[in-house]
Amino acid sequence: MKNSFRGMGRLAAALAGIAILAAPMAASAQDYPDDTIHIVVPWRAGGGYDTVARALAKPLEAIAKQSVVVDNITGGAGNAGMIAVKQARADGYTMLLNGSADITAPIVYREVPYKLSDYICVGGVYQTPAWVIANSAKGFKNWGEYVEAAKKAPGKMTLGVTDLATPDSTLAEALVKKAGIDVRIIPFNGGAPLKKALLGNQVDAGVLIAPVMLEEIKNGDAVMLVSGGSLKNINYEPLQNAETPASYGLDIEIGSTRGIFLPKDVPAEVASKAEELVEKAAKSADFKEFGNNFGFAPIWMPGKDFCSFMQDEEKIYRSIK
């Protein structure tokens, strides 16, 4: 699953704009925050991570009493946004929202210009599994039917993923390998373009992080073939007992915990205040309402626990590799 960096032109352009994200240095932790907070999302607007970030920004803005802006810095399969935050001024005004596995999987599967220790874990706010989706027009009812179709047409069927070395590509590779089928795994550089391809019936199936495309499943335009983990907590009863990789003899659970990060050199006092603000936003009525409407109730995982969770997740990915 190793992959050379793609989109380096976009990466260079994004890095050139890092100065825009660097707000004036905070005078003291006591004054924080007293300027605009930027939340960097390393994926395109319109995808699941962007949606979560914008939903969190609303209560965070009210709690912090400062403007909160979401910046989509894309390119390099997520590297552009990761580097932008890594190199941003360490004053607490530039945050990152990304999925735990979207950081740990690339660290395991390829060379990336960052490591876990480059960031401070502020806290996890939204946790869901990956899942395999197909357009209803394909006629598949579950992953087993997709596998049977693939066996009849070796090398011809497609399986889209948001990008390589991501939790969804890991689930795709594991399922395909276990099934012993020959399909083309196609990276789409984000959830939004993959969703568009699925709705346009341009791929036979695709792997996204739940609950992206839940509404399309509800209205019959799409079908969930298999979930990377339990869906017992989803607020759509027909999917609560959905098949998981274990249903196909694969003892893994693949998903992602979306969370907030800061550059590693942010002063401890500022990082602590940032965690306090994000915790309040994650537990707010607004964010809870968003989560229930989006598909899953939000969570709150304190920064220390979030870092430990990611370290354990990295070990799991290395065991799969």
Report the pLDDT value the prediction gives residue 166, as an integer from 0 to 100.
87
How high is the pLDDT of residue 16? 47
Separation in Å, CA 321 to CA 6, 18, 64, 128, 237: 22, 34, 42, 22, 34
Residues 136 and 198 in one domain: yes
- Residue 234 CB contacts under 8 Å (≥ 6 apart), including other chains: 210, 211, 214, 240, 295, 296
**Helices 48-64 and 268-282, packing angle to 10 deg:** 110
Residue 259 sits in the same domain as residue 119 = yes
Q: Using alpha carbons, list the distances in angstroms from residue 110 to 100, 188, 258.
A: 16, 18, 21
Residue 2 resides in a domain = no
Task: From 195, 215, 248, give the residue that closes a domain.
Answer: 248
**Are 221 and 142 in a shared domain?**
yes
The CA distance from 305 to 303, in Å, is 5
Q: Say whether both 16 and 108 belong to one domain.
A: yes
Among 202, 218, 248, give the residue marking a domain's end: 248
Lowest mean pLDDT among 3-17, 33-47, 96-110, 193-207: 3-17
Same domain, 223 and 137: yes
Boundary-marking domain end, from 248, 265, 298: 248
Domain presence at residue 18: yes
Q: Does residue 120 sit in the same domain as residue 261?
A: yes
Place of tokens 């890095």: 15
What's the confidence (pLDDT) of residue 40?
Answer: 98
* Same domain, residue pair 218 and 259: no
What's the total number of domains in the chain? Answer: 2
- pLDDT at residue 11 above 50? no
**What's the confidence (pLDDT) of residue 96?**
98
Domain that includes residue 154, residue range: 129-248
Of the candidates 91, 97, 151, 146, the one whose C-alpha atom is nearest the C-alpha of residue 121 is 97
Same domain, 70 and 178: no
**Are 157 and 302 members of one domain?**
no
| pLDDT score, position 13 | 46
User: The whole model's pTM is what?
Assistant: 0.81
Cα distance between residue 28 and residue 44, in whole Å: 34
Do 74 and 177 belong together in one domain?
no
Q: Please check whether residues 55 and 137 belong to one and the same domain.
A: no
User: Which CATH number does the domain housing residue 189 bear?
Assistant: 3.40.190.10
CA distances from 167 to 170, 273, 313 (A): 5, 30, 11
| Dist. CA 306–CA 311, nearest whole Å | 9
Which carries the bigger pLDDT value, residue 181 or residue 76? 181
Residue 1 lies in a domain: no
pLDDT at 104: 93
Asked, for residue 290, whether it belongs to a domain, the answer is yes
| % of the chain at pLDDT higher than 70 | 91
- pLDDT of res. 279: 98
Which of the four pLDDT bands, split at 50, 70 and 90, describes residue 47? confident
**What is the C-alpha separation between 214 and 51, in angstroms, rounded?**
13
Tokens of 130: 């990956």
| CATH number where 279 lies | 3.40.190.150
309 domain-assigned: yes
- Mean of pLDDT values over 8-34: 56
User: What distance in Å separates the CA atoms of residue 175 and residue 217, rounded to the nearest whole number?
Assistant: 21
Residue 93 lies in a domain: yes
Dump pLDDT digits (tens) for 95-144. 999 999 989 999 998 889 999 999 999 999 999 999 999 999 999 999 99
Q: Is the pLDDT of residue 196 over 50?
A: yes
- Is 268 within the bounds of a domain? yes
d(CA 92, CA 90): 6
Domain shared by 195 and 150, yes or no: yes
